[in-house]
Structure 1
Amino acid sequence: MNDERLIVSDMSSVRDAEGGWFSPLLLVVVFCFFWIGIAPFPDPNASELLTAYGMSSNLMNQLIVIALAALVLLVLANHPARWLVLRSYGLLAVIFCWLLFTAAFSDAPATALRRIVYAMLVCLCASSALLLPRDSDQFGKLIGTCVLTAVLLSLLGVLVFPQLAIHQGSDALEQQLAGAWRGHFGHKNVAAAAMVFAVFFGIFFMKTRSFWWGALIVCCSTVFLLNAGGKTSAAMLPAILVASWFFERIGPFRIVFLVSCLALMNYVLLSAAISREAQDLLISFGIDPTFTDRASVWKLALGAIAERPWVGHGFQTFWQMDALVYSEEADSTWAVTAANAHNGYLDQAINGGFPLLLLIMIWLVWLPCRHAGLAFRRAEHPELTRLFVRCWLFMLFLACLESPFFDNHGPVWFTMLIAVFGLRMLAYGNLKATGYPEALTRTQLAS
C-alpha cells in the first residue's frame, strides 16, 4: 500500500514538473557551458592553454562547474526519477574510489585529488542532463538548438575572427596546423570531434523534429569538419554510421563485434610503436607507421605503464609534469612534451594501472553495449537510442588515436557521458512518450 501511494505521489510530481521552466533552462546552460564555454575563441597564446589540463584547472571553470552541479542536485532532490541517476553511479563510485586510492602514489597527489573531484562534478552534470527537460520532444528541441548555435558560432568566428577561429602560423604551439579551422573550440581536433557529434544530432533532429533544421545542422557541421583538418574524425564519421547500423542488427554478437574491433585496432596501432615488422607492414599498405608521430608517444606511454602497472602514476599527473618533462627521456624523445598519450586506453592505464583500465572497459564498453541491446529491444525511443549509440561508438574508436576519456573541458567527454548515461536510462528507465521515467512497479522500485 505504501508503494502504491509512492507511485501516485511520484506521478503527481511529474505532472507538476512538466510546467516548470528552470530545469530546461538549466539543461541549456549546462550544455552550452561544455559546448561553447564562458570564453569562446580563446587566445591560442594564452598561458593557460599551453598546458595539457589548463582549461580544466582554470579557477573560473571550477567554480562554474561546482555551481552547476549544485543546481543540478537541487533540481534532482525533488525529481521523481532521481533514483535513475543514483543507480548509474555504482561502478562509477568504484572507479573514483580507485582513483582516490592511486592518487596517494602520484608525484602530485594534491593535483590528482583536485582533478578527480572536478571529474566527479562533470559526471554528475552529464548524468542528470536527460532528467532536466520536460519530455523527449523538449529534449530534442533544446539540444538541437544548442548544437546549431555552437556550429553557427564556429562558422561566424571563421568569417569574423579568423585569427582566433583558424589555426595560425604565429600560434605558440603547433604552427604546422596553420589554416585548419578550430572555431570557438581552441583546437582543430576538438572542433572536428564536436562537428561529428553535431552531424549525429542533426540526423536525430531530422528524424524527430524538423527535417530542414536537422539538414542545416548536418550541412554546416560537415562543411566545418572538412575544413578543420581532423582526418581521424572525418574518416570515422561514415564508418561509425555504418558500424552503428550493423551494431543495431547483430543482436547478442554486439559485444564480441565491438571488443574484437577495439582490440584489433589498438593492437595494430600500438604494434607500430614497438615492432619493426608491424611498421614495415603498414608502410607496405601506404600507411604512415608513426600515425603523425603518435608512435613516439605510445612507446613512452607503454614504458610508463610498465613502470607502475597496478597503481599507475595518478589521475592526470603524468603528462606535462616536471617529473616527465625534465626526466632522462627528455634528451631522447620529444614525446615528453605531449599533452596526453593520444590513446584513451593507454592514458587510463597510466592514470590508475590495469585495474582502472579494466573498470573503464566495463563502464564504457561492456555496460553500454548491454544497455543498448536492452534499449533496442524496448524500441520506445529508437531514434534517441541510435543517437546515443553513434556518439558512444564514435568516442570508443576515437579513443584509439586520441585521449578523450576524462577530458573534462569541452564538448567531447561531456557528450559521451550523456550517451553512456542515456543508454542506461533508456534500458531501465521505462521512458514514456513524455521522456520522464515513469514511477515503476513495486519490484522495480525495490531494485
Structure 2
Amino acid sequence: MDRAGYGEVEPTNAVKARVGTVLFMAIFLFFWISINPFVDLTGEAVLDPSAGNSNRLNQIISLLLFTGMLGCGLVHPLREAILQPRALLAILFSWFIFVSLVSAHPMLGIKGAILALMVTVNASVYLLLPASERHFAKMLAIGILIMLAVAYYGIVFKPQLAIHQASELREPMNAGLWRGHFPHKNSAAAAMVIAAFIGLYVMNTWSRFAGIVIVALSFVFLVNTGGKTSTAMLPAILLLALIFEKVRFLRIPIAVGGVGLFNLFAVGSAVFAPLGDFISGLGIDATFTNRADIWRFAFGALAEQPLTGYGFKAFWQTEELVYSGGSVETWAVAAANGHNSYLDIALMTGFPGLALTLIWILFLPLRKIARIAPEREHSHLTRLFVRIWLYTIFNAGLESLFFEGGSLLWFTFMVALYGLSLQSSAELAAAPARARQGRVAHA
C-alpha cells in the first residue's frame, strides 16, 4: 500500500511540491558539492589556522537555505517533528554555549554552536519535503548522479585539483589518490560509501538501472581514493546491518559494544603500550596511519580539563596551539582535528558534552529502532537509515565529524537519525481521517 511521504497526508499542490523539490536538491548539492569545489591544496593558505573559515557567500547561502527550510517546516503538518528531541538538544547546545563562554575563544564556540543548530534544523525538516518515497528516491538518485558527474569531471579535466599532488604542503604522501571535488581523499571515500548505500536503496525503490550505475561509479571512485578503512567498511557495514536487522538481541552489542571496542582498540592502542603491541601483533597498523601521536596528545590535554574541555571548536587549529613553537614537542599541534569524533567532542566540551552527544546519536536511535513496526522494520528505507547510522558511528572512531556544520556526512547522518524517528512513528497514508492528525511518514 502506498504511504504518504515525509510530507502531508493529503496531496500537496503543485507550488508546494516544486518548492520542496527545489529546497531538497539545493540542500543536497550544497552539502555534497559545496559552493567551492576543487580546492587547491598546494597553497600556503592550507596551513593557516583561519583558512577554513566560511566565506561571506557561503554564509549568505547557508542563511537563505536555513530560512527556506525553517519556513517550509513551520507550515508543515508535522512541524512538531522539527528539532526533536527538543529537551535533550536544548541541554546539549546550552552546554556547548556554556563551555565556550568560559573558554579562551568564546566566539568560535558560539558561532560553531549556532551553525550546528542551523544544520540540525535543516536535517529535521529535510525528510518533510518529498511528496512520496518514490519522489524521495528519485531526488536522491539525481543528486548522487550529479555529484558523481562533478567528481569524475574533476578526475578527467581537473586532475591537478581532483587528484592529490606531491606538491601539496600538508600531506604530499597522498599523491595520486583521488579526491574529486572534495577537500581530502578521506572525505571523498566517506561520501562514496554513503553514495553506494543510496545506490542500493534507489535500485530497490525507484530505478534498478540508476541504482546499479550509482553503486558501480561510487565503488570505483572509492577504491581510487586509497581510503582503506572506508573501502573495508563498505562490505562490513552491509553485513553488520543485515545482522543488526535480523538478530534483534544483538543490536545493543553491535552498536554500543561495537563502538566501544572499536575506540578501545583504536585510541587505546595509542595510550596503552601493551594494547598497542597486541594490535601490532595482529598485523594491524597500531598507529592507525599516524593518528596515534594525535590521540596521545589529545588525551594529555583532556586530562587537564575533563569537565568543560577547551570550548566548542576552540582547540584544534587555534593560533596558540599551531604556533606553540617549542613549548609543545609534537607535530600533533598542527593537526586539523583529532581524527576521532568521540575524543574530539570530549576535548571540546568535556565528558558531560560527550555523554549528552552519545545519548542523542547512539542510545536514542536504538530506542527508536526498537519501536519501528514489524512491517517497516525490514523496509528498504529503514535499511538505508540503519546503514548510514552504523557506518557513521563506526567511522567516527577514525575521523572527526560530529557537529561539523559543512560536513555532508554529519548532515546525512542527522537525516538518518530523523528518518529512524519518523519510521518509528509512521502510519499508513490510507489510515482513517482521525490518524491524519498524528505523525505520518512513509516507510
Q: TM exceeds 0.5?
A: yes
Q: Percent identity?
A: 41
Which range moves more in the overlay, 246-255 or 290-299? 246-255
User: CA distance change for structure 1 residues 267 and 72 in 2, over 3 Å: closer, same or farther?
Assistant: same
Map of 1:296 onto structure 2: 293
TM-aligned CA deviation for residue 406 of structure 1 = 1.4
User: CA distance change for structure 1 residues 185 and 441 in 2, over 3 Å: closer, same or farther?
Assistant: closer
TM-aligned CA deviation for residue 115 of structure 1 = 1.2
Map of 1:256 onto structure 2: 253
Q: Secondary structure at the match of 2:371?
A: helix
Indicate if the aligned counterparts of 1:196 and 1:233 stay in contact, CA closer than 8 A.
Answer: yes
Residue 26 (structure 2) aligned to one of 25, 29, 41: 29
Residue 76 (structure 2) aligned to one of 79, 84, 96: 79
Map of 1:173 onto structure 2: 170
Whole-Å separation in 2 of the counterparts to 1:11 and 1:146: 23
Map of 2:123 onto structure 1: 126
Q: 1:235-384, aligned counterparts within 5 Å?
A: 235-327=232-324, 331-375=328-372, 377-379=374-376, 382-384=379-381
Indicate if the aligned counterparts of 1:376 and 1:385 stay in contact, CA closer than 8 A.
Answer: no
Q: In the comparison of the two structures, how many residue pairs are matched?
A: 432
Residue 95 (structure 2) aligned to one of 94, 98, 102: 98
Map of 1:4 onto structure 2: none
Whole-Å separation in 1 of the counterparts to 2:338 and 2:266: 13
Counterpart code for 1:25:
V
Residue 184 (structure 2) aligned to one of 183, 187, 190: 187
Deviations 1:181-213 (A, max 9, x none): 000112100000000000000000011011111
Whole-Å separation in 1 of the counterparts to 2:101 and 2:257: 35
Q: Secondary structure at the match of 2:17?
A: coil
Q: Which has the higher helix share?
A: 1
Counterpart code for 1:396:
I
Q: Secondary structure at the match of 1:387?
A: helix
CA root-mean-square deviation: 2.4
Whole-Å separation in 2 of the counterparts to 1:321 and 1:270: 23
Q: Secondary structure at the match of 1:439?
A: helix
Indicate if the aligned counterparts of 1:272 and 1:279 stay in contact, CA closer than 8 A.
Answer: yes
Indicate if the aligned counterparts of 2:392 and 2:413 stay in contact, CA closer than 8 A.
Answer: yes
Which range moves more in the overlay, 211-220 or 367-376? 367-376
Residue 213 (structure 2) aligned to one of 216, 233, 238: 216
Residue 60 (structure 1) aligned to one of 57, 61, 75: 57
Q: 1:156-167, aligned counterparts within 5 Å?
A: 156-167=153-164
Q: 1:354-433, aligned counterparts within 5 Å?
A: 354-375=351-372, 377-379=374-376, 382-430=379-427, 432=429
User: CA distance change for structure 1 residues 433 and 401 in 2, over 3 Å: closer, same or farther?
Assistant: farther
Residue 228 (structure 2) aligned to one of 231, 254, 259: 231
Counterpart code for 1:355:
P
Counterpart code for 2:188:
A
Map of 1:7 onto structure 2: none
User: CA distance change for structure 1 residues 103 and 17 in 2, over 3 Å: closer, same or farther?
Assistant: farther
Counterpart code for 1:385:
T
Whole-Å separation in 1 of the counterparts to 2:166 and 2:430: 51
Structure 1, unaligned stretches of length 5 or more? 1-9
User: CA distance change for structure 1 residues 76 and 169 in 2, over 3 Å: closer, same or farther?
Assistant: same
User: CA distance change for structure 1 residues 433 and 289 in 2, over 3 Å: closer, same or farther?
Assistant: farther
User: CA distance change for structure 1 residues 208 and 11 in 2, over 3 Å: closer, same or farther?
Assistant: closer
Whole-Å separation in 1 of the counterparts to 2:376 and 2:32: 29
Whole-Å separation in 1 of the counterparts to 2:21 and 2:183: 28
Counterpart code for 2:242:
W
Whole-Å separation in 2 of the counterparts to 1:106 and 1:14: 50
Which range moves more in the overlay, 392-401 or 379-388? 379-388
User: CA distance change for structure 1 residues 78 and 293 in 2, over 3 Å: closer, same or farther?
Assistant: same
Indicate if the aligned counterparts of 1:88 and 1:421 stay in contact, CA closer than 8 A.
Answer: no
